[in-house]
Chains A and B, each alone.
Chain A
């Protein structure tokens, strides 16, 4: 009886809303925009979209008042839930000690009460990828810092927030790094070339050895070796070696990208290339490999003094021209809410606007294996929707409501609470 009661309560808690959102312009992303339309949501999923939807009897009707509806945006690289205040190490759960930690999963360390969640959500971002490492080079994390988790920005616990706790295994491909950022240092510390190359070579050897060990473990496992002792780290490698879980290969520049892609090919990995900022002539290699890419913010400064001033602004457009599938990621928390703005900057420098919107909705959904449930406004998908008075990629637009699984999350956050409180200060 009690179990039944609990199950019912749980079902009620998880039971998402059913409603008709009418009088809106729908931007499905997967299809052309539909003016004067309505969206029927049943149990948190999109049941129908169209211009002639009748409200089923007794259903709650929400008047969209002529506003626009977009699919919830997906930010493909954050540390949300794992890092609250960048400078405070006590609150940072990115960058575990050790070079090889494929067994780590960010999801189980996500603080569901992080202030970053409502702040990011209020700009129309409904799902994020949380990485186990920071890319500023200050957090350690080693070569394999863990997996990347895909989560929705709503839920009382991390279990309720889960989309996929092991969306990909993260691999920071070794690079010759001539400077390193250290917390508190005003400028990056320079490393002599020979030393940087030695570090790079030894890390490359470590990586190769680790994969060799993982392969041996895999063979022993397949052979049913009774003597084999379970190794949690190597167990975590099995789905990766089998190509079931993709590898988010982080490689920024031309040389690292080439080497990372060659490595991924040799090891027959399912590769997502990440952190790309300066592919140079490796663009052809990316295209040939047919792998998708997670790009850094287009507003990243050009790496070289003599790069064109809009070098990174125009990178998404150049990838699109080559037919390479990509999504955008912030690779930070404090500007995670601006991922839509970043997409717009890419559009300002040559990316077709529809593709800009796609790079933060349907493309990431596809890259992260969720295109049957996220990323566009289509029948059967989760009702992760953003209601706004204009283009959500524009700074002037106001996001007025966010739905996740059909639940109205509101757009309140610590920021709006402080705003109202101090605006009213006598």
Chain B
């Protein structure tokens, strides 16, 4: 365990909490047919989810008659809760990592939680061909940055293709400053190939060193390279590649480069023209995490269609719907619902795009993504069917803990507003100042 101390604290808190039973809900497990019944939460996990359950002694009962319980929503592409996302100075910034800049008090986390999201893959930005390392977090609002990390989730790294890494839409590439290599899609491919050529050589140096030490031959350890280490992780399947891409040509390019170097792209992100090369994506074994209906905001998004998710799904690709936005992350349930209009997906297929599918893409499906016995009690209670625009999340549980409660939020508002007014009053000119709060 990487963070045994914080984990122990967390576990302790959960162990102390009494069991919770959510009763009479329309339960949508996603991995099996929906039913009306109960879910028993114990020690942060789902103990039982069935029409009839055994209510543990001393359990808190929540009557959810007429309401809908689904697994906590998982966003496979987000930038919430971080101080900065782009180390834009170099086109290979694999030494930088999101884990170091998590801001656990950022309000976007709470707003996302209030929309039913319980897990997010927080990515580096798309300014670079090879960006920084990603962090999978649980939206444990109120916890520290360390405690938000999804313990045990396999690390990832962001790649980016097309207009963003070649800086098409940035002032510097329009003559206002110095151009940075690459400025074409050809250059983007080259940057990635160069980096992995270097990484292979670096991997070889270390292997030779290890062989020598095993044979007890004299050896000097190679100099550590924090840029290349994450790429060796990729080559040795210890780190997932999440690649931002739009056009079919660049998607295909990346799949072939990865195959040449002997690794696999875990997810293609955005992948707006994925529907054009769905066959090739499925054959490579990459997942696809896309928008519901974004299009036409730039040239590479002009052939984007809202049927993308449906086509890829029908052609055997593991698909999820993501937000990439502090706004859209608050309503991923209705984003998923659009695939029923655009491509005729079933309710279960639509909901899988924001639950079990992203969980599989991040390889955390043993823990989250469905309502099944033994999984983490990450749950959302909606007042209406979650695929309806009229649905509002009422309660959101993370590890069995009630981290968002609409009733509680509403009840706290008068007090919060009064506190805000008091602060404003104090800052008004002429108001009696409170004693100096800052030393300087």
Q: What residues of chain A have their CB less than 8 Å away from a CB belonging to chain B?
A: 84-88, 115-116, 119, 182-186, 299-302, 305-306, 308-310, 333-335, 337-338, 341, 344-345, 347-349, 353, 393-398, 414-416, 418-419, 422-423, 425
Contact = CB atoms under 8 A, between A and B. Distances in A.
Contact of A334 (B297, B391, B409): B297
B296 A418 contact: no
Given A341-B334, A345-B389, A186 B127 contact: yes
Given A348-B391, A423-B314, A395 B338 contact: yes
Contacts of A299: 327-328, 330-331
Contact of B389 (A305, A344, A398): A344
B296 A419 contact: no
B2 interface: no
A183 B167 CA distance: 12
A425 B281 CA distance: 14
B39 interface: no
Contact of A395 (B174, B303, B334): B334
Contacts, number: 128
Interface in B166-184: 167-171, 174
A305 B105 CA distance: 11
A334 B295 contact: yes
Given A183-B171, A299-B328, 17 more contacts: A84-B296, A87-B169, A88-B298, A184-B169, A299-B331, A309-B330, A337-B293, A338-B293, A344-B389, A345-B331, A348-B391, A394-B390, A415-B342, A419-B305, A422-B275, A423-B314, A425-B276
Interface of A, helix, strand, loop or mixed by DSSP? loop
B337 A395 contact: yes
Provide the main secondary structure of the chain B interface.
loop
A396 B340 contact: yes
A422 to B, nearest CB: 5
Contacts of A414: 305
A425 B167 CA distance: 32
Interface in B75-133: 86, 88, 107, 110-111, 114, 125, 127
B111 A309 contact: yes
B297 A87 contact: yes
Contact of A348 (B107, B168, B392, B416): B392
Interface in B149-188: 163, 167-171, 174
Interface in B380-438: 387-392, 409, 413, 416, 420
Contact of B296 (A86, A305, A347, A398): A86
Nearest to B85: A186
B261 interface: no
B299 A415 contact: no
A87 B389 contact: no
A308 B413 contact: yes
Q: Which residue, of A182, A308, A309, A393, has the highest number of chain B Cβ atoms within 10 A? A: A309
A185 B388 CA distance: 35
Interface of B: 86, 88, 107, 110-111, 114, 125, 127, 163, 167-171, 174, 275-276, 278-279, 293-299, 301-303, 305-307, 311, 314, 326-328, 330-331, 334, 337-338, 340-343, 387-392, 409, 413, 416, 420
B314 A334 contact: no
B275 A185 contact: no
A104 to B, nearest CB: 23
19 contacts: A85-B298, A86-B296, A116-B296, A119-B295, A182-B171, A183-B169, A306-B416, A334-B297, A338-B293, A341-B334, A345-B389, A348-B389, A395-B340, A396-B337, A398-B341, A415-B305, A419-B305, A419-B311, A422-B276
Given A299-B327, A308-B409, A395 B296 contact: no
A114 to B, nearest CB: 10
Contact of B303 (A182, A305, A349, A418): A418
A87 B342 CA distance: 25
Nearest to B301: A85
B392 A419 contact: no
A185 B171 contact: yes
A85 B114 CA distance: 33
Contact of B297 (A85, A344, A397): A85
Nearest to B292: A395
A315 to B, nearest CB: 15
B327 A301 contact: yes
Contact of A85 (B302, B307, B387, B389): B302
Given A415-B305, A415-B307, A395 B341 contact: yes
A393 B389 contact: yes
B170 A184 contact: yes
Given A186-B127, A301-B326, A395-B341, A348 B390 contact: yes
B389 A395 contact: yes
Contacts of A309: 107, 110-111, 114, 330, 409
A299 B323 CA distance: 13
Contacts of B275: 418-419, 422-423
A337 B294 CA distance: 11
Contacts of B327: 299-301
Contacts of A333: 296
B392 A87 contact: no
- Central interface residue in A84, A335, A348, by most chain B CB within 10 Å: A348
A85 B420 CA distance: 42
B114 to A, nearest CB: 5
A131 to B, nearest CB: 17
A317 to B, nearest CB: 12
Nearest to A395: B337
A-B pairs, 3 with minimum CB distance: A344-B389, A87-B298, A184-B170
Given A305-B107, A309-B110, A334 B337 contact: no
B390 A344 contact: yes
Nearest to A116: B296
Contacts of B174: 184
Given A345-B389, A348-B392, A415-B305, A85 B169 contact: no
Counting chain A CB atoms within 10 Å of each CB, which of B111, B298, B314, B391 scores highest? B111
Contacts of B110: 309
Contacts of A184: 167, 169-171, 174
A305 B302 CA distance: 34
B166 to A, nearest CB: 12
Contacts of B314: 423
Given A301-B326, A422-B276, A394 B169 contact: no
Nearest to B307: A419
A373 to B, nearest CB: 29
